[in-house]
Amino acid sequence: MKRLTPYLLILPGGLWLAIFLVVPMVFMASVSTQEGNVVDGFAQTFNFANYTNTLALFQTQFLRSVGYGLAGTLIAIALAYPIAYWIAFRGGARKSTYLLLVLLPFFVSFVLRTVSWKFLLADEGIVLAPLKSLGVLPEDFHVLQTTVAVVGGLVYNYLPFMILPIYVALERVDPRSVEAAQDLYATRSAAFRKIVLPLSLPGVFAGVLMTFVPMTADYVNAGILGGPQNTMIGNIIQTKYLINNDYPSAAALSFTLMAAMLVGIFAYAKALGTENVLEAAAR
Amino acid sequence: MDIRTNPAFLRGMTTSRRDALKLAGMSAAALALAACGVEGKKAEAPKKDAVADFWAGKKQNGTLRFANWPLYIDKDGKDYPSLKMFEQDKGIKVSYTEAIQDNGSWFGKIQPQLAAGTDIGFDLMVMTNGNQLQRALSLGYLAPLDHSKLPNFAANAAQKVKNPAWDPNNTFTIPWTLGVTGIAYNPEFVDEVTSMNDLWNPKYKGKVGMMIDAQEIANFGMFALGIDPEKSKEADWRKAAAKLQEQRDAGLVRKYYENDYIDALVRGDIWITMAWSGDVFQQITEGKNLKFVVPQEGATIWSDNMCIPKTAQNPVDALALMDYVYQPKIATMLVEYINYITPVPATKDLVLADAAKAEGEDKEFLEQLASSPLIYPSEADLAKMRGYLMLDSKTDQLFESIFQPVTQG
């Protein structure tokens, strides 16, 4: 019985993954090589051209999504690191309060938060109208339906996922190791570069995993805040699936996206010199 | 009129809410779809006695499950007055659900059950005469209507809603409401609009709203070129797509909107846009300075239609409600709340009669309603209006592959 215990413990989670991840994935993999339409039905013809055709047709949106994901992730690191650092080292007794504040936006629906940006950033809204009337901005200046709005929305929505893992990594840095470095005549910045930063990199890595992937696949921000030039691959998949009922193309696009992300993430892990991606992320 | 009873106010809130609901519902729909399998089965040609076959042995059960769009029926607090009257008159208990946020995700939700021949949980639903309804018709998902049980429809429905091209003789559907897709603009920034060409006017660069829906935008492209969309062919679609691409490449289009265009217009993000008549009417009655026109080249008329899924458990009860709402008295209650085009023209006099009895803002609102060309379009305007193009499953894919690169490039 004792030997069985670990297996019994992973059973609920394992079943969850099997039923809600593996089964749908197998199903979608099968759909992705089918041909047909919703009225006449779809038949399995192992039509791998679904992959090449959709990729050729939507490579712009693919590259754009990856670009937005990268830009969003970099901005998120730049914003999140100082916040996480401050909470970890200067947060004092109120650390948990600050963490709660970071998480507070999650108490409001993702979509509603994004929609509220439309009101904040409207051309004649509460932010832009005063600046325009002061002459700081030209009359035809706008933020909505620009790349800035979409990437901004992505960063805003996924920022906590970057802050939290970096915070966890920084929190674990033993302050005595920094003191030791300073005892050994390291300057403050050298101590940061040689001690704190390397120790916090696994947190950054986990943060990148948790933000880059959902940002790249996101369709809500481009749908609500974007314009004609901001369509992301997620929007295309959504249209293919729900409007056109073209399930094979949608499935093929999803798998291409997934494969691209996996390759990207592993390449990134390798470049970072991380021995084991999952272990680093788990730390 | 206070906030609680002012339908215009409530409707004014729908766009962002619908938006939100729709996005939230999407993941659920996607899951449902993933599990559905992807069988399709074309309906056989309708048999002559299909109606008799379907209705044979069906009885009134005293309950009705009605799926409709948000804020699409008269409401008083928690009650639906017209449904309450129906319940009292016919002894049928109605469970009314605002279950439909958009045609795409709704079709995604019900398709697996209908393909499997099982109950979708509703006996009556409202769908727009677009692609999804077309698919439901081709797949034989809808019950043929027994018109001998629809005397009020025969007597009171406007001639223009009878026998639509996409559902000859109203075999499967009758309209709940109708609407027009025309041009709305803010006269503060835009000179008087009479023509489609104003959507291509470089003066309004970056301030033009277009719709993301392939059929909506295709019709406008074709109107602009003087093509009748109902009779258009592939070559016409390509010309229209090129015309629309030109508008996009010139940087005129701010965004290809879903139903959030009306917020953008009200907030001033856009000055001129493709728009649905009812949305604009509601904003105007709230005092917004907006105008709606049917351009000289034409505009699109569409209808949201009541239909009975073939797996309905209470089809007789559903048919009873379909006919009930075609009584002018009931149709008046509906139009006074919904503010879209009613299929019952006789309601106009009843709205005016209500206006005569009302006072203050209520009176003003009802008078505006009765005299509005957005609710009761003129014959001249109606003559310029065309429906969506009917597409079968093959041309459907071709059509979308021509227009979606414009809206989602």
Calculate mean pLDDT across residues B118-127: 97
Determine the pLDDT at residue B409.
Answer: 83
Nearest residue in chain A measured CA to CA from B138: A39
Cβ-Cβ contacts under 8 Å, A42 against chain B? 38-40
Nearest residue in chain B measured CA to CA from A58: B409
From the list B26, B256, B268, the residue facing A238 with the nearest CB is: B26
From the list B107, B269, B397, the residue facing A246 with the nearest CB is: B397
Q: Are B250 and B157 in contact (CB under 8 A)?
A: no
Contact B392 A41 (CB under 8 A): no
User: Of B396 and A148, which is predicted with more confidence?
Assistant: A148
From the list B105, B267, B396, the residue facing A122 with the nearest CB is: B267
Q: Which domains does chain B carry?
A: 7-39+47-177+303-343 (3.40.190.10), 180-301+385-407 (3.40.190.10)
Contact B40 A24 (CB under 8 A): no
CA-CA-CA-CA torsion sign (A267, A269, A275, A278): negative
Q: Which amino acid is at A229?
A: Q
DSSP-derived 3-state class of residue B352: helix
CA of B398 vs chain A CAs: smallest distance (Å): 11
DSSP-derived 3-state class of residue A233: helix
Angle of helix A49-57 relative to helix A59-90, nearest 10 degrees, comes to: 80
Determine the pLDDT at residue A268.
Answer: 84
Residue B267 at interface with chain A, using a CB cutoff of 8 Å: yes
How far apart (Å, rounded) are the C-alpha atoms in residues A63 and A264? 13
Contact A61 B408 (CB under 8 A): yes
Longest dimension (CA), chain A: 76
pTM given for the model: 0.86
Beta strands in B149-294 (DSSP E): 173-185, 208-211, 253-257, 272-276, 291-293
Binned at pLDDT 50, 70 and 90, residue B39 comes out as low
% of chain A residues with pLDDT over 70 = 96
Determine the pLDDT at residue B390.
Answer: 86
CA of B289 vs chain A CAs: smallest distance (Å): 15
Contact B394 A37 (CB under 8 A): yes
The DSSP-derived string for A19-37 is IIIIHHHHHHHHHTTEEEE
CB contacts < 8 A, A to B, total: 121
Contact A38 B38 (CB under 8 A): yes
Q: Is the pLDDT of residue B36 over 50?
A: no
First to last CA, chain B: 45
CATH topology classification for A49-282:
MetI-like fold (1.10.3720)
User: Of B282 and B223, which is predicted with more confidence?
Assistant: B223
CA of B222 vs chain A CAs: smallest distance (Å): 20
- In angstroms, how far is CA B348 from the centroid of its own chain? 20
DSSP-derived 3-state class of residue A172: coil
Contact A37 B40 (CB under 8 A): yes
Mean pLDDT for chain A overall: 91
How far apart (Å, rounded) are the C-alpha atoms in residues A39 and B40? 5
Q: Environment class of residue B86 by beta-carbon count within 10 Å: exposed (0-12), middle (13-18) or buried (19+)?
A: buried
Contact A124 B267 (CB under 8 A): yes
The DSSP-derived string for A176-209 is HHHHHHHHTT--HHHHIIIIIHHHHHHHHHHHHH
Cβ-Cβ contacts under 8 Å, A239 against chain B? 404, 408
Contact A241 B31 (CB under 8 A): no
Contact A24 B31 (CB under 8 A): yes
Cβ-Cβ contacts under 8 Å, A27 against chain B? 34-35
Q: Is the pLDDT of residue B27 over 70?
A: no
Q: Which amino acid is at B94?
A: V
Mean pLDDT for chain B overall: 89
Rg of chain B, C-alpha, whole Å: 21
Contact A39 B393 (CB under 8 A): yes
Binned at pLDDT 50, 70 and 90, residue B4 comes out as very low
CA of B302 vs chain A CAs: smallest distance (Å): 18
From the list A28, A223, A244, the residue facing B34 with the nearest CB is: A28
Which residue, B273, B272, B295, is CA-closest to B380? B295
Cβ neighbours for B179, distance < 8 A, ≥ 6 positions apart = B276, B277, B278, B301, B302, B303, B304, B340, B341
From the list B16, B30, B393, the residue facing A37 with the nearest CB is: B393
Residue B202 at interface with chain A, using a CB cutoff of 8 Å: no
Q: Are A151 and A64 in contact (CB under 8 A)?
A: no
- In angstroms, how far is CA B115 from the centroid of its own chain? 24
Q: Which run of H or E residues covers position A44?
A: strand A41-44
* pLDDT tens readout for residues B129-172: 998 999 999 999 999 999 999 999 999 999 989 999 899 999 99
Which residue, B207, B293, B222, B216, is CA-closest to B258? B216
From the list A112, A123, A235, the residue facing B269 with the nearest CB is: A123
Calculate mean pLDDT across residues A223-242: 94
Q: What is the complex's ipTM, to 2 decimals?
A: 0.87
Residues 271-330 of B with CB under 8 A from A: none
DSSP-derived 3-state class of residue B125: strand
Residues 100-129 of B with CB under 8 A from A: 104-105, 107-108, 111
Q: Environment class of residue B192 by beta-carbon count within 10 Å: exposed (0-12), middle (13-18) or buried (19+)?
A: exposed
Residue spans per domain, chain A: 49-282
* pLDDT tens readout for residues B159-216: 989 999 899 999 999 999 999 999 999 999 999 999 999 999 999 999 999 999 999 9
Residue B206 at interface with chain A, using a CB cutoff of 8 Å: yes
Determine the pLDDT at residue A282.
Answer: 55
Which of A38, A47, A241 is the best substitution to test chain B (most B C-beta atoms within 10 A)?
A38
Contact B23 A241 (CB under 8 A): no
Residue indicated by tokens 């080292």: A89
